[in-house]
Chain A
Amino acid sequence: MNNKEVLKVQNLTKKYENKAVVNKVSFSINEGDIFGFLGPNGAGKTTTIKMILNLIKKDQGEVYVNGKDFSENFNECISKIGAVVETPKFYEYLTGYQNLKQMANLEVNVDEERINEVIKIVRLEKRAKEKVNTYSLGMKQRLGIARALLNNPKLVILDEPTNGLDPQGMRDIRELIKKLAVENNITFLISTHLLHEVEQICNKVAILKEGEIISYDTVKNLLKKNTETLNLQTPDILKTLSLLKDLDYVKKKVRHEEGVVVEIEKGFSTKLNKYLIQNEIKLEYSIPVNQSLEEFFIKKTKGGEQIA
């Protein structure tokens, strides 16, 4: 990752019947980032992507690609981008290869060698000469990525790339994205409603809710906090609860069947364990609980409805 800005979105706004479905969305993506654009269904992710790509008109805001205004330099900017918007669509009556050829015809420097190269990258060599209407959804997603890679883009925008895939298919796509980011130095913008997807592959995230960005930072920073959580597994639940009452560094405690989950100030976990053992608590395990993006999201959105 470096500081070279590949995509900058400023105050992007879209209104339908005077209601803003995307409201002043701003973020920037640096070279090498895998940027997660996270939000529940209907949050405005696809609308934002379509505005970025000039498929729908923005009511307000600017989009810059490599520092250049997208609207004023469409051809130059779009030639640096590869995109799959929504479920990848194809001319179903053509083969996978012919579909890629259709798009290759519209680019200046994309020859047959490059078509075969992207087919190989997404591992569709065996099926490339078959009609797309015989492909599974996973294969279509891979072909969509191949199409997005045709023009050797600097930035690839993928809209819900794992939507509708089985666990193996999801894993394949994520592995492919990570591999492309590392080996081909491609920057990604990935919209998703899957929190664990962002945790697994993204380094930066913007969380979108009802058309507005409610959080925007590196995944690492979002998960950073001043407290830590321990899952204390013990049969002496009541005694433990009673002891925890007297400790000022304990912020929160929740009883469960096998013990207590306790949130404490950072750096006090060893002290707490010693204290409990000194007070003859039979502590079977003390397991640190990492805050997940899911918990973060739920806190931020007070519910996190529709987020898997």
Chain B
Amino acid sequence: MLNLIKNEMIKTFSTKKMYVFYGIIVVFCLMISLTIILQPGEIIDKPTGQAFPLILLKGLIGQIFPIFIIILSVDMITNEYRNGTFKLPLLHPVSRRKYILAKIFSIILLTVSLLGVTLLSSYFIGSIFFGWGEGVTIDGNLYSSLDGILKMLSYYGISILPLAAFSMLSVVLALLFSNAGVAVGLSIGLLFALDVARQLLPNLGLYIINSTFYIFESLFNSSLYDTAFSQILLTLIYAFISLIISDIIIRKKEIIY
């Protein structure tokens, strides 16, 4: 399994894709910083460098990260399938289940690296534009720098959970299609449709995976523990069902290309 993950990492970092994603995150950081500076108070009050990572997380987690995950999944599965390279490890002592699990874990690891780059670049760029500040205020509470950093790490850390579940769902979609364009188009379409559904149908929206992306807002707020619990449960259900479906699909999949 570890060797399979290592292979996926080598392949991914041998192309420009991840570096482009990291670049987009940095550009996004710069754009938000400039917007705040040029139009103070219109979008958001001027933060400190210590609070900036939270703004970035809120800005990226709903759509940008899921789109990155969709692209990674389609590239690792649908593209490889169509290019005829998906079958290569299957001509060695590698079970299909392990193979797909390795791809899922690789996508999750890459997502963690995206979160890491977001955290670091937002601290760095935020500090340059807004200064480090004397601490950080989150949900009306003032934290020391150390506590603020730990808090931020928890926010980013817990965000791995819904993104991991989304990665698993995205892998299911990537396995279902043999055309990369169709897979990306439909997956992104579905992401936006679910997001609209979440906002338009508040009751149903609670069960949509997109609602779990903002789990960090509820988990560390004692008045929202119930919401956080249901979001964690929902995330686990999505992950579990996606894993089962992936396993069924990969075991039955005819490797034609």
Give A contacts to B, CB under 8 Å.
50, 53-57, 74-75, 78-79, 81-83, 85-87, 89-91, 93-94, 98, 102-103, 105-108, 151
Contacts and interface: CB of A to CB of B under 8 A. Distances in A.
B91 A53 contact: yes
A293 to B, nearest CB: 30
A83 B255 contact: no
B88 A103 contact: yes
A103 B255 CA distance: 18
Given A89-B83, A106-B3, A55 B93 contact: no
A87 B3 CA distance: 26
B94 A106 contact: yes
A56 B253 CA distance: 7
B222 interface: no
Contact of B256 (A56, A74, A82, A102): A56
B10 interface: yes
A45 to B, nearest CB: 15
A102 B7 contact: yes
Nearest to A57: B254
Given A50-B255, A103-B88, 10 more contacts: A54-B90, A55-B254, A74-B93, A75-B93, A85-B87, A89-B88, A91-B14, A102-B10, A102-B11, A105-B4
Nearest to B99: A106
A63 to B, nearest CB: 14
Interface of B: 3-4, 6-7, 10-11, 14-15, 83-85, 87-95, 252, 254-256
A55 B252 CA distance: 10
> Which 3 pairs from chain A and chain B are nearest by CB?
A89-B84, A75-B93, A55-B255
A209 B175 CA distance: 33
Nearest to A87: B84
Nearest to B80: A91
A83 B255 CA distance: 14
14 contacts: A55-B91, A78-B91, A81-B91, A87-B84, A89-B83, A89-B84, A89-B85, A91-B11, A93-B11, A102-B11, A103-B92, A106-B7, A107-B93, A151-B92
Contacts of A94: 10-11, 14
A150 to B, nearest CB: 9
A74 B11 contact: no
Which of A86, A89, A93, A106 neighbours the largest number of chain B CB atoms within 10 Å of its CB? A106
Contacts of A98: 10, 14
Which of B4, B88, B90 neighbours the largest number of chain A CB atoms within 10 Å of its CB? B88
Contact of A55 (B11, B83, B87, B95): B87
A60 to B, nearest CB: 16
B90 A105 contact: no
Contacts of A105: 3-4, 6-7
Contacts of B93: 74-75, 78-79, 106-108
Contacts of A102: 7, 10-11, 88
B83 to A, nearest CB: 6
A83 B6 CA distance: 23
Nearest to B94: A106
Contact of B92 (A85, A90, A107): A107
Given A89-B84, A89-B88, A56 B255 contact: yes
Contacts of B95: 74-75
B88 A55 contact: no
A42 to B, nearest CB: 14
A83 B91 contact: yes
A70 to B, nearest CB: 12
B8 to A, nearest CB: 10
A89 to B, nearest CB: 4
B254 A56 contact: yes
B90 A55 contact: yes
A94 B7 CA distance: 11
A90 B84 CA distance: 8
B11 A86 contact: no
Nearest to A78: B93
A86 B255 CA distance: 12
A90 B85 contact: yes
Given A57-B254, A79-B93, A98-B14, A86 B85 contact: no
B254 A103 contact: no
Contacts of A89: 83-85, 87-88
B252 A103 contact: no
B98 to A, nearest CB: 10
B254 A78 contact: no
Contacts of A86: 84
A74 B92 CA distance: 9
